[in-house]
């Protein structure tokens, strides 16, 4: 089988009025035949997992379970691993991404998610912290602001579902352009994806990203970066980044990760 979808969401996804993102995720996972696993580890709220279980059931899913991994030892539970082995979709909730990495990183759960997404067609979605954890390198924390600075961002290992991009979330709402640029200034290998709230990137097995939701996605392509002053910048200094390409994409726009080309929806013919 091919790779499954990877669906990072910028947080605060609409759950009631127009839950287009959650409905679309359920659809690609099999609709009423989907087997959805919720991982609420990033959240300290006990009702986070049950709330998403109820939501997906309201949307028509017949099999939805929450696996609240709290201790690293939980990641060895055979009954929970069996749920992950038969799931068609996994949804990782928001909260603190370091709680995800320190609890699940390097365990059988992380290995299974990566293997099944890359080789068995498992679709993995995540909101806020759950979006950040998906990539090989994740933004652990950082400062707000539009200008990158040398000490603006801290990176940590993610689950490694992809090495093609690095994610930041609540992007426009929390003014996070600077820290995404700072992360790319360290190493311009991945694409930067800045997700507004209630906005998702549906990355297909063919590496084509489609925007769904009410906000925008800021795509920073550093593949032709000519210069970064990160190596010589002192603490708190602004950082020069020259030669990057930036796109702002709204619903219906796409971005081909392989060709690095962005497209907009075709204009609706007048009647």
Question: Which helix (H) or strand (E) is 111 found in, with range?
Answer: helix 108-119
pLDDT reading at 231 higher than 90: yes
Is 247 catalytic? The answer is no
Which of 43, 66, 101, 128 is an active site residue?
A: 128
Q: Which domain holds residue 112?
A: 6-263
Which residues are CB-contacts of 197 (< 8 A; sequence separation ≥ 6)?
10, 11, 12, 13, 169, 170, 172, 173, 215
How many distinct structural domains can be found in the chain? 1
Q: Is 269 contained in some domain?
A: no
Residue 268 falls within a domain, yes or no?
A: no
Q: Look at residue 122 and tell me if it is in a domain.
A: yes
Percentage of residues in the chain having pLDDT higher than 90: 96
C-alpha closest to that of 99 among 136, 133, 67, 66: 133
Q: What is the pLDDT of residues 108-133, one digit of tens each?
A: 999 999 999 999 999 999 999 999 99
Q: Quick one: average pLDDT of 8-24? A: 97
- Is 170 annotated in the active site? yes
Q: Is 197 a catalytic site residue?
A: yes
In-domain check, residue 1: no
In a domain, 271, yes or no: no
Average pLDDT value over all residues in the chain: 96
Give the domain CATH number at 177.
3.40.50.880
Catalytic residue among 197, 204, 210, 228: 197
How many CA atoms does the CB half-sphere of 136 hold within 13 Å? 9
Q: What is the C-alpha separation between 233 and 60, in angstroms, rounded?
A: 53
Structural domain includes residue 243 = yes
pLDDT (mean) for 79-106: 98
pLDDT at 269: 53
> What's the pLDDT at 266?
76
Taking alpha carbons only, the member of 174, 176, 192 closest to residue 184 is: 192
Torsion of CA 49, 199, 178, 6, to 10 degrees: 70
Q: Let me know if residue 270 belongs to a domain.
A: no
Q: What is the DSSP string of 171-186?
A: TTTTT-HHHHHHHHHH
When pLDDT is averaged across residues 59-83 and rounded to a whole number, the result is 98
Catalytic-labelled residue, pool 170, 204, 210, 247: 170
Residue 171 belongs to a domain: yes
Give me the pLDDT at residue 35, please.
Answer: 98
With a cut of 50, say whether residue 267 has pLDDT above it: no
């Amino acid at each position: 089988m091919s790779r499954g979808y990877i669906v990072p969401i910028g947080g605060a996804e609409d759950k009631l009025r127009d839950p287009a993102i959650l409905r679309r995720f359920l659809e690609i996972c099999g609709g009423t035949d989907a087997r959805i696993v919720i991982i609420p580890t990033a959240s300290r709220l006990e009702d986070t997992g049950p709330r998403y279980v109820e939501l997906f059931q309201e949307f028509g899913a017949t099999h939805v379970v929450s696996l609240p991994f709290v201790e690293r030892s939980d990641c060895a539970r055979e009954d929970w691993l069996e749920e992950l082995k038969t799931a068609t979709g996994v949804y990782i909730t928001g909260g603190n991404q370091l709680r995800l990495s320190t609890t699940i990183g390097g365990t059988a759960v992380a290995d299974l998610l990566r293997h099944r997404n890359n080789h068995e067609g498992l679709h993995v979605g995540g909101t806020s912290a759950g979006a950040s954890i998906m990539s090989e390198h994740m933004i652990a924390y950082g400062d707000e602001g539009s200008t990158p600075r040398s000490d603006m961002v801290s990176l940590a290992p993610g689950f490694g579902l992809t090495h093609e991009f690095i994610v930041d979330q609540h992007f426009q709402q929390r003014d996070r352009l600077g820290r995404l640029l700072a992360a790319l200034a360290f190493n311009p290998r991945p694409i930067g994806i800045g997700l507004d709230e209630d906005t998702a990137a549906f990355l297909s097995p063919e590496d084509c990203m489609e925007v769904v939701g009410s906000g925008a996605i800021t795509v920073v392509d550093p593949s032709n970066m000519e210069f970064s002053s990160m190596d010589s910048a002192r603490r708190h200094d602004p950082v020069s980044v020259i030669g990057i390409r930036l796109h702002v994409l709204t619903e219906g726009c796409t971005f081909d990760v392989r060709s690095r080309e962005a497209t907009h929806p075709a204009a609706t013919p007048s009647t």
